Amino acid sequence: MATSTKPTVYVVDDDDAVLGSLRFLLETDGFAVRTFRNATALLNASGAHGADCYVIDYKMPDINGLELVGRLRQSDGETPVILITGYPDVNISARAAAAGVKDVILKPLLDENLVKRIRHAIQDRAGN
């Protein structure tokens, strides 16, 4: 878990506009935020496992969100993950749950609902 007094959220999305808007939304609501343009950038980052919650896009060019979750789970099985997607399919929720994803949220519905789900995921992990 991050050492900051603010909960730390790592956001992974290949869309710069989404990264910027989520950074603004989450920082405005009191989170510390690190953004990554793709899965490889997160995996290669120092401190890649310092998040209190991950928000990960499903459809990315290098490694999709569920594959990234699988790689993160190999070394960090505890940190909650929220998957965001603009490309839902009928099986995405079931596949995400099987990968250990806490929630799936459809774009563009990334507003206070996302903030509530992140806070809930972090509280669940802490046992509150």
Domain residue limits, the chain: 8-126
pLDDT at 18: 92
Identify the CATH assignment for 8-126 out of 3.40.50.2300, 3.20.20.70, 3.40.50.1010, 1.10.3730.10.
3.40.50.2300
Beta strands in the chain (DSSP E): 8-12, 32-36, 53-57, 81-85, 103-106
- Chain centre distance of CA 29: 16
Q: Quickly count helices (H) and strands (E) in the chain.
A: 5, 5
Chain segment 6-45, per-residue pLDDT in tens: 999 999 999 999 999 999 999 999 999 999 999 999 999 9
Chain segment 60-117, per-residue pLDDT in tens: 988 999 999 999 988 877 899 999 998 878 899 899 999 989 899 888 766 778 899 9
